[in-house]
Amino acid sequence: MSGNARVRVCGVQTHTGAAQAFEDHYDAVVMACHSDQASQLLQETSPAKKIVSKIRYQKNLAVLHTDTALMPKRQAAWAAWNYLHTHDQASSNVSVTYWMNRLQPLPVQTPVLVSLNPIAPPRPEHILQSMHYAHPIFDGPAIQAQRELSSVQGHAGIWLAGAWTRYGFHEDGFQSGTQAARDLRHHFVKSGHAPALPNPA
């Protein structure tokens, strides 16, 4: 896949500590990562950088636990997603407890819960694991960035994919990645340099 007429993606440099290890060149790249990570990797002159830089992220704490004190008092009111709020809640972060037994066929009777930004910490003896995440904030600028994204897909051989391109769910990430694969294959077919790849699902 060579030739003077080919426009290649800028080189990708790999660093190990302070020492540069090697540099590779590619005909195309799919950046399947958070939009803020893509923004850090893109060149300042890239039109995609201006778009993805509009999407802000919020840090969230997720706690896997079995403390039902973070669920509605009446078990009949338990749902797969349970919104939590207090009148004196100062944080702007949303607080939700997911009932994993309802969401997934877990082979246990004990309620398994995941609390996102819990309004009160679960009792220590009930905590199984704590994790820190960063999630996209789907405000006006982010929605506008999603609308503009198609205009830069494939520019300089770069495609962007991730759950942030839609609603932020894992299924959105899968759909976004599959669409990028379709677009990439179409690009190579149209250019007459189609590699021997199967059609994406």
Query: What pLDDT is recorded for position 93?
Result: 75
Residue 177 CA to its chain's centroid (Å): 11
Q: pTM of the prediction?
A: 0.75
> Per-residue pLDDT for 171 more than 80?
yes
> Per-residue pLDDT for 8 more than 70?
no
* Residues above pLDDT 90, as percent of the chain: 69
For residue 77, what is the enclosing H or E element? none
> Looking at per-residue confidence, does 78 or 20 come out higher?
78
Q: Per residue in 46-103, pLDDT tens?
A: 999 999 999 999 999 999 999 999 999 999 999 999 998 876 656 667 899 999 999 9
Q: Per residue in 142-157, pLDDT tens?
A: 999 999 999 999 998 9
The answer for 117, left when phi > 0, alpha when psi is -120 to 50, beta otherwise, is left
Domain boundaries, the chain: 9-56+137-191, 58-135
Question: Which homologous superfamily does the CATH classification assign to the domain defined by 9-56+137-191?
Answer: FAD/NAD(P)-binding domain (3.50.50.60)
Q: What's the pLDDT band for 188 if we cut at 50, 70, 90? A: confident
d(CA 193, CA 22): 26
**Contact present, 33 and 162 (Cβ < 8 Å):** yes
Query: What pLDDT is recorded for position 89?
Result: 57
**Contact present, 157 and 27 (Cβ < 8 Å):** yes
Coil, helix or strand at residue 193: coil
- Sign for the pseudo-dihedral over CA of 93, 99, 105, 107: positive
Query: What pLDDT is recorded for position 173?
Result: 97
> Per-residue pLDDT for 195 more than 70?
no
